């Protein structure tokens, strides 16, 4: 099926919230990793989200250009083409754009979507994330409202964040963040809803923080407090009514216990970002191939090596397959197996 339109994307999010599951949102950096996602979603009959960060976009554009927007456009166009051949729905999203990268990253993508919509096509991306968590809340929301208005005109959903996800990812380092910043308060959640709901008929997602940490950690090392989400939702509903309940996003889930992940689904999480674990899944078979075939992938002591072993297609197929299996695990962890809406 093609990449979804606005109406279908809204139906996807509503379906997840109603039935208390979440879509795995997988960060990709290439055609290969995007293909792994599509294969996993198709095999488990799950709709899903493929997303590109600024770092992923830079990588996709090549080491000489390092053009994040260009690389994101390239990956998105590939997904638009290839998704037509699958029987599940897929949405395209951009991840973690801090305030300083709005102009070089988000604005060119929004402009690209504007051109497409003007030509009678769907926007290139279905949703974007503005990460203004490093700003004071007022400044964060001022910029978020501005972007939400732009996105809403084009049929694009905006994701925002308030509070800080700890750790380091994609050049954003919050390893020294004060502990209190790792938890979004109920008052902050009420304010976020107040500001964003001022944009009439706009849809948005909210990445509230509840002890999340980017990076890789052994199970038990990440101390989450999913009850933070419950308290925040309760405060918003108490003030604005049940329809105000947020569509929440879970960032920084590596090392989280399955019980904690599942608990967040009860409180309105409908999207969970997955990156670190799929990076490892992609790399692990590649390392295995090189170590087991050392004298084949290298021209050792004047020999010629083995072309079948150093052909990149040989080992990258293994990486694609391994990443696919890790995405499938994420689908199952989030209770999304067999939930596709079809056409």
DSSP 122: P
* SS3 (DSSP) at 39: helix
Distance in angstroms (rounded) separating the CA atoms of residues 218 and 78 = 35
- The yes/no answer on whether domain 6-283+323-333 falls in CATH 1.10.287.1060 is no
Closest CA to 158 of 185, 131, 134: 131
Closest CA to 125 of 52, 195, 56, 175: 52
Per-residue pLDDT tens digits of the chain, which is 343 residues long: 899 999 999 999 999 999 999 999 999 999 999 999 999 999 999 999 999 999 999 999 999 999 999 999 999 999 999 999 999 999 999 999 999 999 999 999 999 999 999 999 999 999 999 999 989 999 999 999 999 999 999 999 999 999 755 444 454 444 444 455 578 999 999 999 999 999 999 999 999 999 877 555 455 555 788 999 999 999 999 999 999 999 999 987 777 889 999 999 999 999 999 999 999 999 999 999 999 999 999 999 899 999 999 999 999 999 999 999 999 999 999 999 999 999 7
Distance in angstroms (rounded) separating the CA atoms of residues 137 and 126 = 25
Q: Which residue has the tokens 């699958």?
A: 86
127-131 vs 172-174, strand pairing mode: unpaired
Positive/negative CA dihedral, 256, 126, 323, 341: positive
Catalytic residue among 47, 67, 95, 131: 95
Give residue-wise pLDDT tens across range 65-89: 999 999 999 999 999 999 999 999 9
Q: Tell me if residue 95 is catalytic.
A: yes
179 phi-psi bin (left φ>0, alpha ψ -120 to 50, beta other): alpha
Distance in angstroms (rounded) separating the CA atoms of residues 250 and 269 = 7
């Amino acid at each position: 099926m093609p990449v979804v339109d606005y109406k279908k994307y809204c139906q996807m999010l509503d379906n997840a919230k109603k039935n208390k599951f979440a879509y795995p949102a997988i960060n990709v950096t290439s055609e290969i990793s995007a293909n792994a996602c599509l294969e996993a979603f198709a095999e488990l009959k799950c709709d899903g989200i493929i997303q590109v960060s600024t770092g992923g976009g830079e990588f996709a554009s090549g080491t000489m250009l390092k053009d994040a927007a260009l690389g994101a456009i390239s990956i998105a166009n590939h997904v638009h083409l290839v998704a037509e051949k699958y029987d599940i729905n897929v949405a395209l999203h951009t991840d973690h754009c801090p305030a300083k990268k709005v102009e070089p990253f988000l604005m060119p993508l929004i402009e690209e979507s504007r051109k497409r919509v003007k030509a009678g096509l769907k926007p290139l991306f279905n949703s974007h994330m503005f990460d203004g968590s490093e700003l004071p809340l007022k400044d964060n929301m001022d910029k978020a409202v501005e972007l939400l208005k732009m996105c809403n005109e084009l049929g694009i959903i905006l994701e925002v964040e308030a509070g800080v996800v700890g750790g380091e990812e994609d050049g954003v380092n919050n390893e020294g963040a004060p502990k209190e910043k790792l938890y979004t308060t109920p008052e902050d959640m009420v304010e976020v809803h107040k500001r964003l709901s001022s944009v009439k008929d706009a849809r948005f997602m909210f990445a509230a923080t509840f002890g999340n940490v980017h990076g890789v950690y052994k199970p038990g090392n990440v101390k989450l407090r999913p009850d933070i989400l419950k308290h925040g939702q309760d405060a918003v509903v108490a003030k604005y009514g049940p329809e105000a309940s947020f569509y929440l996003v879970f960032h920084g889930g590596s090392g989280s216990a399955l019980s904690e992940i599942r608990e967040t689904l009860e409180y309105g999480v409908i999207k969970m970002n997955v990156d670190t674990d799929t990076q490892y899944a992609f790399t692990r078979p590649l390392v295995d191939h090189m170590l087991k075939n050392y004298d084949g992938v290298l021209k050792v002591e004047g020999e010629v090596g083995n072309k079948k072993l150093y052909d990149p297609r040989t080992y990258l197929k293994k990486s694609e397959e391994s990443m696919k299996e890790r995405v499938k695990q994420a689908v199952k962890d989030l209770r999304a197996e067999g939930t596709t809406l079809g056409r």
